[in-house]
Amino acid sequence: MRKILMASVALGALTLANGPALATPPGVNLLATEGTDTCGSDTPCFVVTPGNWNSVSTGVTGDTATIEGTFTNTGFNPSGTFDIYVVEPDSVTVSDILHLSFTGGEGVSNLTGTFQSFDDGANIPPTLPNGAMTVVEDGTAIDITSMLAQTESLPNGITIQVQSPVSTPEPASLALLATGLLGLGTLRRRRN
């Protein structure tokens, strides 16, 4: 019994300490994300992996990450501006906004964008506009390429994902930790 209680305390503490894993999926060309696991600090950032990019630069100012880059395309002329609203699990509260703008012609296109976070409470999130493109944050990388491709064709090999950690602790982990600590306390009291 004691081994089971010790294991539940250790598992609960480990789960709470590590939180949700934020990993960059393989083969992604552009990931808008936030958090210490990926960005090195608790701010938003863009993670870019080689692919069709000719040049790219990223930066962070406060709660907003920026990106500017060029990529090769053939047979089409991508253009358009997109706002993707990342919402909390309640599907109403805005957590982050990804703004992307494509310009250019056939051959080489440009992408500029921002990824603004409202998770820390420093900025008041905007009201979700009617008809906005939204994704519900769940801590995983969500592929939004198909959302953008509904209104604009993207070159082969370009994928765009957004990731926002869910900031609330898991109730099951807290319950597991509390049960284990309560059980250890009870065992100790019986021995005395």
Residue in this structure with the two tokens 């609330």, named with its chain if needed: 168
Tally: H helices and E strands in the chain: 4, 10
- pLDDT over 70, % of the chain: 61
Which residues, other chains included, contact 41 with Cβ-Cβ below 8 Å and sequence gap of 6+?
none
**CB of 69 closer than 8 Å to CB of 55:** yes
* 26 exposure class (CB count in 10 Å sphere: 0-12, 13-18, 19+): exposed
pLDDT given for residue 11 in this prediction: 42
| Weakest-pLDDT range from 14-18, 58-62, 109-113, 183-187 | 14-18
pLDDT given for residue 68 in this prediction: 92
pLDDT tens readout for residues 92-151: 888 899 998 888 777 778 889 999 988 656 667 788 888 888 999 888 888 888 787 666
Q: How far is CA 103 from the centre of its chain?
A: 25
C-alpha distances (whole Å) from 4 to each of 11, 87, 127 are 10, 39, 47
pLDDT tens readout for residues 71-90: 777 666 667 788 999 998 88
